[in-house]
A and B are shown apart, each in its own frame.
Chain A
Amino acid sequence: AQSVTQPDIHITVSEGASLELRCNYSYGATPYLFWYVQSPGQGLQLLLKYFSGDTLVQGIKGFEAEFKRSQSSFNLRKPSVHWSDAAEYFCAVVLTGTASKLTFGTGTRLQVTL
């Protein structure tokens, strides 16, 4: 069964510091990859996605992610975190060629200190 792992449940960073949130998946084939953000009490908003091509993808709000096939990873990064980035972040995958199930990781809660 397909699975997505976000090993960090909770991360705290200072405003202005860099950020990296980890995401690993367990499939043989390259899946479609997504990062979503959820602010408290809200639905999910897409930050960025990877389908093919350039392995470094740019998203909204200054976020980027890099697909590394050798590591089965799709880590999310931001060079300088803002207090408004405090939220929960979810990695999600769809295995290509299957019945398009969109599977989420368990999420990483980001806290930003001033």
Chain B
Amino acid sequence: IAGITQAPTSQILAAGRRMTLRCTQDMRHNAMYWYRQDLGLGLRLIHYSNTAGTTGKGEVPDGYSVSRANTDDFPLTLASAVPSQTSVYFCASRRTVNTEAFFGQGTRLTVV
């Protein structure tokens, strides 16, 4: 079934550790996004990529990095996790600017 796959589904992580959240889509979409969802704040854009080989910063990029080596994969890395990065992370993709975005099921990350 076509769609977006995120891994892991959930994770408890010690502060200071490095973590990579994985996101893979098989729809050949050009644009991909990472959001974090926090109560009362909605979804905030962390990083995005309009096409393979390019990335950009969203609203809350500090402490996070991304890469887009190919069309399908868009991993999000926390170099040194902090408790304020406890959140639910959603990956999304869409074909072009005027098409809908499809979302993964999310990764619940707890930094302790």
Interface residues of A (CB under 8 A from B): 6, 9, 32, 34, 36, 42-46, 49, 51, 90, 92, 94, 96, 99-107
Contact = CB atoms under 8 A, between A and B. Distances in A.
B104 A102 contact: no
A32 B98 contact: yes
Interface size class of B (residues with CB under 8 A): 20 to 34
Interface of B: 31, 33, 35, 40-45, 48, 50, 56, 58-59, 90, 92, 94, 96-98, 100-101, 103-106
A43 B106 contact: yes
A43 B98 contact: no
**Which 5 pairs between the two chains have the least Cβ-Cβ distance?**
A106-B42, A100-B97, A43-B103, A104-B43, A44-B103
Given A99-B50, A107-B42, A42 B105 contact: yes
A36 B56 CA distance: 23
Nearest to B31: A100
Contacts of A94: 97-98
Nearest to A94: B97
B45 A101 contact: yes
Given A42-B105, A43-B90, A43-B105, A34 B100 contact: yes
Contacts of A101: 45, 48, 56, 58
Nearest to A51: B98
Nearest to B41: A106
B45 A103 contact: yes
18 contacts: A6-B42, A32-B98, A43-B103, A43-B104, A44-B43, A44-B92, A94-B97, A94-B98, A96-B98, A99-B56, A101-B56, A102-B33, A102-B45, A102-B94, A102-B101, A104-B43, A106-B40, A106-B42
